[in-house]
Amino acid sequence: MDKPVIIQKRSLKLEMDPGTYFWCACGKSKDQPFCDGSHKGTKFMPEEVVIEEKQIFPWCMCRYSDKGARCDNKHRELI
């Protein structure tokens, strides 16, 4: 697996409580946008995301954001 799986070409905005989360970088997790260990055997590793205060967080679902787990609208450039 050389490229991540594109789940959707838009962010997933979720209201998140403070805490530590692990974002799925490969796109194979069944618990999107969070890691469930499906990356095992690939070059991908989950990204640790620490949320300090309750907020709406725009999770990247295309896996091409230059900001990792935080959507930067890179999905708009994908074909």
pLDDT in tens, 11-59: 999 999 999 999 999 999 999 999 999 999 999 999 999 999 999 999 9
How distant is the alpha carbon of residue 69 from its chain centre? 4
Q: What is the pLDDT of residue 33?
A: 98
Reading the block at residue 36, the tokens are 């469930």
Q: What is the pLDDT of residue 1?
A: 80
Q: What is the pTM of this model?
A: 0.93
CA distance 39 to 78: 22
